[in-house]
């Protein structure tokens, strides 16, 4: 096959990658192992190596490989059918002279979290696409998070569970190929969304119109202390301490010995959420650092208790004294 060529929308892809790198950022590209991507554009079917080498030559750092139309051409059955296209691309990427993060997007089929790393994947979607429509009282991101939480034992440095994008701010309409619109999530729901993803050590990939970023959305996406929890070198995905119809408590151990804790109010009105040291596996007094507000919030011993707004979160770091 012939290498992918620049077009009117992207006349200088290598130049674009260099510009993005000059901002201190990484750049990613999307394709499918099938003949067509989900939007109907050319996939990588039968020219996988040509495409991969072109991506590396341009300077891409991330590849999202979306199943899409591959199901129409895939042969065989069972796990081998699901693994084959990802094993092939994983082997090709491993042979390049450029490090490219490999994202397996096949919606969790075949329990991909159990074998994604074996075929060269660095992260893998654990569910179907994230929708924000309210099928019940809670927005759709909660449903995705609840499912992603089940696979914490398969996450760690170099291999991550991917619950899908961060869809806030000005949100597009990929399926309808229409102009986007502002998110319908409340501010508290957006704080909860980002907190969940960081506690789950998820890849943080923003999906929205960056030319229309407002100050609030930028604050949600770029809070250093919140992102530090997601990017902690220990690489542990949070465990579920408690989950009821009214509340969710997550805890994530961090490299410095502190514990990140999220108290999530799933209910329709403000409520007090309390978690004990016994539940968290802690002893002694801890300093409480409010991560969203970026300030110390006193000390606690024996239990942590906070009033949390509807669909909101209290996201904190419990630090040992002297740390």
Instruction: Look at the domain 1-125 and name its fold.
Output: TIM Barrel (3.20.20)
pLDDT, tens only, 98-157: 999 999 999 999 999 999 999 999 999 999 988 765 556 899 999 999 999 999 999 999
DSSP 3-state percent helix, strand, coil across the chain (nearest 5): 30, 25, 45
| 323: its two tokens | 């740390």
- The answer to whether the beta carbons of residues 121 and 93 sit under 8 Å apart is no
Catalytic residue flag (residue 66): yes
CATH number for domain 239-320, candidates 3.40.718.10, 1.10.3660.10, 3.40.50.300, 2.60.40.1180: 2.60.40.1180
Per-domain residue ranges of the chain? 1-125, 239-320
Is residue 217's pLDDT more than 70? yes
Of the residues 51, 61, 66, 232, which is catalytic? 66
Question: What is the mean predicted confidence (pLDDT) over 220-242?
Answer: 98
Cβ atoms < 10 Å from Cβ of 187: 15
Of the residues 129, 209, 228, 290, which is catalytic? 129
Catalytic residue flag (residue 164): no
**Alpha helix positions (H), the chain:** 13-22, 48-58, 78-94, 140-148, 187-199, 215-221, 224-230, 277-280
Is residue 176's pLDDT more than 90? no
């Amino acid at each position: 096959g012939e290498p992918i060529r620049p077009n009117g929308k992207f006349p200088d892809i290598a130049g674009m990658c260099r510009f993005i790198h000059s901002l201190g950022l990484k750049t990613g590209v999307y394709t499918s192992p099938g003949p067509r991507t989900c939007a109907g554009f050319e996939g990588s079917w039968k020219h996988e190596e040509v495409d991969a080498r072109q991506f590396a030559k341009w300077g891409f750092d991330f590849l999202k490989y979306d199943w899409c139309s591959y199901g129409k051409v895939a042969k065989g059955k069972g796990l081998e059918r699901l693994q084959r296209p990802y094993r092939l691309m994983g082997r090709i990427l491993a042979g390049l002279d450029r490090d490219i993060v490999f994202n397996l997007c096949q919606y969790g089929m075949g329990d991909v979290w159990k074998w994604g790393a074996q075929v060269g994947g660095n992260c893998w979607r654990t569910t179907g696409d994230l929708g924000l429509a309210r099928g019940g009282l809670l927005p759709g991101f909660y449903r995705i998070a609840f499912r992603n939480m089940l696979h914490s034992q398969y996450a760690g440095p170099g291999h991550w569970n991917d619950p899908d994008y961060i869809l806030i701010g000005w949100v597009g309409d990929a399926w309808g190929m229409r102009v986007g619109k502002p998110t319908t999530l409340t501010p508290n729901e957006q704080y909860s969304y980002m907190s969940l993803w960081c506690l789950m050590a998820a890849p943080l990939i923003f999906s929205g119109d960056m030319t229309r970023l407002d100050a609030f959305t930028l604050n949600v996406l770029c809070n250093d202390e919140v992102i530090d929890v997601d990017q902690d070198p220990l690489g542990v995905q949070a465990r579920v301490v408690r989950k009821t119809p009214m509340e969710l408590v997550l805890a994530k151990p961090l490299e410095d010995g502190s514990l990140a804790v999220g108290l999530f109010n799933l209910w329709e009105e403000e409520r007090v959420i309390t978690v004990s040291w016994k539940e968290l596996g802690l002893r002694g007094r801890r300093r409480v650092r409010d991560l969203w507000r970026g300030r110390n919030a006193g000390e606690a011993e024996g239990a942590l208790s906070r009033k949390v707004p509807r669909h909101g979160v209290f996201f904190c770091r419990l630090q040992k004294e002297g740390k």
